[in-house]
């Protein structure tokens, strides 16, 4: 791949020191200059000037729901460059200056609803830019929870979700995954609160007491990361160790259950390292957030964020933990340069996750996930309009991908390569791939060039067999796709077939079932059911009252499709309690599809639930309900 002349210059030059005296020398990552690496979701022009390090000094104010303070950016500019362009979204900028506090001319451009506004700063020779600012109370990355919305009910709570381009709403920087940056932060919070971030905690769990009954905490990330991985949470948080490298942050009432659920994390790290090389991020701690967190997990380095919906007491959803851990290699270590290639993060990680699960729990457990993923891939392709739908490509316009195809089609692609070349050979290739591109951005074209050079090596027969370009650039599922079958799910399928043929719901034996078996059953039921048949299912399997959020979501989806009124009270309680996109947006979509019956129900529930949702979820549901 070709790298910017600027990047080569940066790598050869002395990297700027971090703000803290005990910091190591900061690393500077290259920026790619290939056609596929042009990011249409950023205003930045990194070939002219780019950010290499962000130092934050921020105050958290729960009363006004604002984050405010100063960001100092280390800037590397090409010869003759006069300005740097940053990404912002609803930030109030009060001063822009150089290190000596000499003001720098700047302009804020028009606002695009998705991309925000460009902040263009005249450098006047400055190597560092100081920006005093405050974020909007409605910042898209941030959710401010009242005490009533937390488990402890004692203190308010704040957390961020940066992916994909939300961090520009609280950090003025170049918000593109291809412009990796080191960072450091000083965070000031009211006394009694505990802030955590996706970097090394420098002052322990108590911080330093400062005037006005506040405490300061310092954090640092020495590895260059894509900006979306800068994350923060502040609340009534406690910590409990899981192993020598791992621990859990959570509210007190959740922490013991989380530690139990995540008990295998040390074994997962060992398995991951045995597969694809060393874990390069220091600690692997985990944060369990309130239920409004919009995702299953977020792979923030040093501190993965998790939804409490995966904590079911039987460790049946530890695939989410394996997935977020695997991101420490695919996504965090080697990152898609733009969101047109999100599959390089999610497809690789889903494949890697499966290998971790197999190493710990055996081939059949891994086969269950692979089998479900294959079925999910086919369903997403069908829902998108079939094999010719452009949204079923791996590389495409950012944000256009259908369903979870970045995950499912991407992982099936890699599994197909593994089967074609043999596991040992493919594992050796992947380990080398992560080493060659560590802490760097990547594109689909870059990956294909790498695999051709280091794995295919001119073998024309293998090249034809793999259909690489077909997988990446063409829609649909190629003919060589490998499907893994699960014996466990085959038994579920047999019971499903008996029920679908008219058998009684009471004959379905669910003893010992985990989440994935329930998903197979409920996902395999025909969408058209009589009210009597649904009532029979609910009476026999206790679906409405299930304590498993995945089971409830799948059941409610079926019930909505049949306008099954008895579930509405439980559905309303569920949607006002759970904020995970994967579980709630299909239910709003299903209600909307029911027209005059479902749309008013969806709107009424959303009006009630909206204050408890993260802005990401609010945006997703709003788009569903406003669609014509």
Report the catalytic residues.
Answer: 324, 407
Q: Report the C-alpha gap between 86 and 295 in whole angstroms.
A: 27
Q: Is 256 left (phi over 0), alpha (psi -120 to 50) or beta?
A: alpha
Q: Report the C-alpha gap between 622 and 270 in whole angstroms.
A: 42
DSSP 111: P
Pairing of strands 232-235, 194-197: antiparallel
Nearby residues of 197 by Cβ (< 8 Å), 6 or more positions away: 185, 187, 219, 230, 231, 232, 233, 303
Measure the CA angle with vertex 517, ends 514 and 518; round to 5°: 85
Strands (E), 392-531: 440-442
Q: Are the C-beta atoms of 561 and 527 separated by less than 8 Å?
A: yes
Closest C-alpha among 366, 367, 451, 377 to residue 407: 377
Structure token digits, residue 523: 């996902």
Q: Report the C-alpha gap between 530 and 150 in whole angstroms.
A: 39
Q: Are the C-beta atoms of 149 and 290 separated by less than 8 Å?
A: yes
Nearby residues of 402 by Cβ (< 8 Å), 6 or more positions away: 380, 381, 383, 384, 389, 391, 392
- Which phi and psi angles does 565 have, rounded to 5°? -60, -35
What residues form DSSP beta bridges with 235? 194
Nearby residues of 434 by Cβ (< 8 Å), 6 or more positions away: 276, 277, 329, 330, 333, 334
Q: Report the C-alpha gap between 142 and 616 in whole angstroms.
A: 9
- Which phi and psi angles does 453 have, rounded to 5°? -75, -40
What are the strands of the beta sheet with 194-197, ordered from one edge? 142-145, 157-160, 232-235, 194-197
DSSP 501: T
């Amino acid at each position: 791949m070709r790298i910017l002349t600027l990047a080569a210059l940066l790598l050869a030059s002395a990297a700027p020191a971090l703000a803290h005296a005990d910091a190591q020398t900061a690393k500077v990552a290259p920026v790619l200059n290939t056609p596929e690496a042009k990011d249409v979701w950023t205003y930045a022009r990194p070939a002219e000037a780019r950010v290499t390090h962000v130092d934050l000094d921020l105050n958290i104010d729960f009363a006004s729901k604002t984050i405010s303070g100063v960001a100092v950016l280390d800037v590397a500019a090409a010869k003759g460059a006069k300005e740097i362009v940053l990404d912002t979204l609803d930030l109030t900028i009060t001063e822009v200056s150089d290190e000596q506090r000499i003001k720098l001319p700047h302009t804020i451009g028009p606002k695009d609803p998705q991309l925000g506004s460009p902040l263009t700063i005249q450098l006047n020779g400055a190597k560092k830019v100081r920006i005093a600012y405050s974020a909007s109370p409605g910042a898209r990355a941030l959710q401010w929870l009242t005490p009533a919305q937390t488990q402890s009910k004692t203190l308010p709570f704040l957390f961020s979700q940066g992916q994909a381009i939300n961090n520009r709403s609280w950090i003025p920087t170049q918000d593109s995954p291809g412009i990796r940056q080191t960072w450091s932060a000083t965070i000031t919070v009211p006394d009694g609160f505990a802030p955590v971030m996706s970097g090394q905690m420098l002052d322990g769990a108590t911080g330093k007491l400062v005037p006005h009954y506040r405490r300061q905490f310092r954090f640092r990330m020495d590895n260059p990361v894509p900006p979306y991985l800068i994350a923060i949470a502040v609340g009534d948080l406690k910590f409990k160790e899981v192993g020598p490298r791992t621990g859990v942050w959570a509210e007190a009432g959740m922490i013991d259950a989380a530690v139990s659920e995540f008990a295998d994390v040390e074994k997962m790290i060992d398995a991951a390292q045995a597969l694809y090389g060393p874990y390069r991020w220091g600690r692997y701690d985990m944060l369990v957030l309130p239920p409004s967190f919009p995702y299953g997990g977020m792979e923030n380095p040093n501190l993965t964020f998790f939804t409490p919906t995966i904590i079911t007491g039987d460790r049946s959803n530890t695939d989410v933990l394996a997935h977020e851990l695997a991101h420490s290699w695919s996504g965090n270590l080697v990152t898609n340069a733009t969101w047109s290639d999100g599959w390089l993060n999610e497809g690789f990680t889903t494949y890697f996750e499966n290998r971790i699960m197999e190493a710990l729990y055996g081939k059949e457990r891994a086969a269950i996930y692979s089998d479900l993923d294959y079925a999910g891939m086919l369903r997403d392709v069908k829902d998108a309009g079939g094999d010719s739908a452009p949204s079923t490509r791996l590389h495409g316009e950012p944000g256009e991908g259908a369903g979870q195809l970045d995950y499912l089609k991407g992982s099936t692609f890699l599994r197909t390569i593994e089967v074609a070349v043999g596991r040992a050979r493919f594992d050796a290739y992947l380990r080398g791939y992560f080493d060659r591109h560590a802490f760097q951005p990547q594109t689909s074209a870059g990956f294909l060039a790498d695999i051709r050079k280091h794995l295919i090596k001119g073998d024309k027969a293998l090249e034809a067999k793999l259909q690489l370009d077909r997988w990446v650039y063409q829609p649909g599922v190629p003919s060589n796709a490998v499907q893994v079958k699960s014996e466990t799910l085959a038994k579920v399928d047999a019971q499903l077939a008996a029920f679908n043929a008219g058998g009684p719901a009471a004959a379905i034996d669910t003893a010992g079932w985990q989440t994935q078996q329930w998903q197979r059953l409920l996902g395999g039921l025909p969408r058209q059911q009589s009210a009597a048949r649904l009532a029979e299912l609910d009476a026999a399997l206790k679906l409405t009252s299930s304590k498993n959020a995945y089971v409830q979501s799948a059941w409610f989806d079926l019930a909505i499709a049949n306008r099954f009124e008895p579930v509405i009270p439980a559905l309303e309680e569920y949607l006002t309690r759970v904020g995970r996109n994967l579980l709630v947006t299909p239910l709003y979509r299903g209600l909307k599809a029911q027209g005059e019956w479902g749309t008013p129900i969806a709107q009424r529930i959303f009006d009630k639930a909206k204050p408890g949702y993260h802005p990401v979820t609010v945006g997703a549901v709003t788009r569903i309900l406003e669609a014509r």
